[in-house]
């Protein structure tokens, strides 16, 4: 039985206000929410409403294109990291059945001659929707900025230098993913559009999905619906941050369930921003997070090695 309780809400303006008291209160609220729930809704996140509306508009235009057109943007050797991935290619770790979705991924654009640019494939430009690529680029930068502030607050909560993550995420391997869950046309094999999973990255920023369906698993093992609140983004902890903090901050298990039968004919769109560091960032557990009560739980690994391992586990890399 799903219980409904709202996820904690924080106001990013408190952190950026220049007021030491408001900033400290924000750090505590955010850290506590991540220790206890793993998901938080963020107000005043700095990504303009009109940009979000444009993003959804162009995403819907893209997914309405004929399959033959979309398919030319599917580049198998990029393992889904850029461009289009067709329906049924990805599955959750530990599950055989593919998720009921198609998606498009947009990655980092290096603008400061950083040699790291050689690690990243170029983004795939969609010719049929001219505003698609520039809008994705603008949104990507907006999410990077909001994500940087949130990670600064997390660093302070963990007793690290405020700028601990800044250099690690500058020109990082983050991904902006547009997902389309098409209408359900026949009795589905599963009641789940996207099977339960945890995200791979440091944090995920999700801007309003077009329909309900997202659920998180709370600490009492109840599935709790998360509805996107107007003017807020939902931000959750991913596995990389969980590893770094030796499970002090928990990566949240979540899934997308099918709508009620009368809504089967509707599409669902969702645009998460997966904030990744540079591949060389070490995810070795922080000393401060290893205690007698919480002994070291993970082997050392870099972000790049970890991402590679997980892309194989979910079927995007062979």
Q: What is the mean pLDDT of residues 134-160?
A: 97
- Report which of 198, 157, 200 is spatially closest to residue 288, judged by C-alpha positions: 157
Has residue 241 been placed in a domain?
yes
Q: Alpha-carbon distance 8 to 235, whole Å? A: 11
Q: What is the DSSP letter of 69?
A: H
Q: Alpha-carbon distance 80 to 85, whole Å? A: 6
Q: C-alpha angle 250/251/256, rounded to 5°?
A: 135
Has residue 4 been placed in a domain?
no
Which H or E element spans position 106?
A: strand 102-106
Confidence (pLDDT) at 121: 94
Report the mean per-residue pLDDT for the chain: 89
Out of 109-113, 183-187, 225-229, 285-289, least confident range = 225-229
Has residue 3 been placed in a domain?
no
Confidence (pLDDT) at 96: 66
Confidence (pLDDT) at 1: 35
Cβ atoms of 127 and 211 closer than 8 Å: no
Confidence (pLDDT) at 314: 66
Q: What is the pLDDT of residues 86-104, one digit of tens each?
A: 887 666 677 666 677 899 9
Give the range of the structural domain holding residue 169, as residue numbers without chain letter: 9-314
Q: How confident is the model at residue 317 (pLDDT cuts 50, 70, 90)?
A: low
Cβ atoms of 73 and 164 closer than 8 Å: no
Q: What is the pLDDT of residues 5-30, one digit of tens each?
A: 568 899 999 999 999 999 999 999 99
Has residue 1 been placed in a domain?
no
Looking at 157-316, which runs of residues are DSSP E strands?
A: 175-181, 192-197, 203-207, 214-217, 223-225, 232-237, 254-257, 268-275
- Report which of 184, 191, 194 is spatially closest to residue 256, judged by C-alpha positions: 194
Out of 29-43, 61-75, 100-114, 204-218, least confident range = 204-218
Q: How confident is the model at residue 196 (pLDDT cuts 50, 70, 90)?
A: confident
Confidence (pLDDT) at 3: 45
Q: C-alpha angle 271/255/129, rounded to 5°?
A: 20
Out of 57-71, 97-111, 187-201, 229-243, least confident range = 187-201
Confidence (pLDDT) at 228: 60
pLDDT of 213 > 90? The answer is no
Has residue 255 been placed in a domain?
yes
Has residue 2 been placed in a domain?
no
CATH number at residue 161: 2.60.120.330
pLDDT of 65 > 60? The answer is yes
Q: State if pTM tops 0.85.
A: yes
Confidence (pLDDT) at 70: 95
Domain count, the chain: 1
């Amino acid at each position: 039985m799903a219980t409904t309780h709202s996820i904690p809400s924080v106001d990013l303006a408190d952190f950026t206000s220049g007021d030491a008291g408001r900033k400290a209160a924000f750090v505590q609220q955010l850290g506590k929410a991540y220790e206890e729930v793993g998901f938080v809704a963020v107000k005043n996140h700095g990504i303009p409403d009109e940009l979000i509306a444009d993003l959804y508009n162009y995403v819907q235009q893209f997914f309405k294109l004929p399959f033959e057109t979309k398919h030319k943007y599917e580049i198998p050797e990029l393992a889904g990291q850029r461009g289009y991935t067709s329906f049924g290619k990805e599955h959750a770790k530990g599950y055989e059945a593919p998720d009921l979705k198609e998606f498009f991924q947009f990655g980092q654009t290096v603008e400061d001659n950083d040699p790291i640019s050689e690690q990243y494939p170029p983004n795939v430009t969609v010719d049929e929707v001219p505003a698609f690529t520039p809008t994705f680029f603008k949104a990507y930068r907006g999410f990077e900025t909001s994500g940087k502030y949130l990670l600064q607050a997390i660093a302070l909560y963990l007793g690290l230098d405020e700028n601990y993550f800044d250099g690690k995420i500058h020109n990082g391997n983050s991904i902006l993913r547009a997902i389309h869950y098409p209408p359900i046309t026949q009795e589905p094999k599963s009641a789940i559009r996207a099977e339960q999973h945890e995200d791979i990255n440091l944090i995920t920023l999700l801007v309003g999905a077009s329909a309900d369906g997202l659920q998180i698993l709370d600490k009492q093992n109840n599935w709790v619906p998360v509805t996107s609140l107007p003017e807020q983004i939902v931000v959750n902890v991913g596995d990389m941050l969980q590893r770094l903090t030796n499970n002090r901050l928990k990566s949240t298990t979540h899934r997308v369930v099918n709508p009620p039968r009368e809504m089967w004919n509707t599409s669902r769109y969702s645009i998460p921003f997966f904030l990744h560091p540079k591949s060389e960032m070490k995810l070795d557990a922080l000393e401060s997070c290893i205690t007698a009560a919480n002994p070291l739980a993970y082997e050392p690994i870099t972000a790049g090695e970890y991402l590679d391992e997980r892309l194989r586990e979910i079927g995007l890399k062979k």
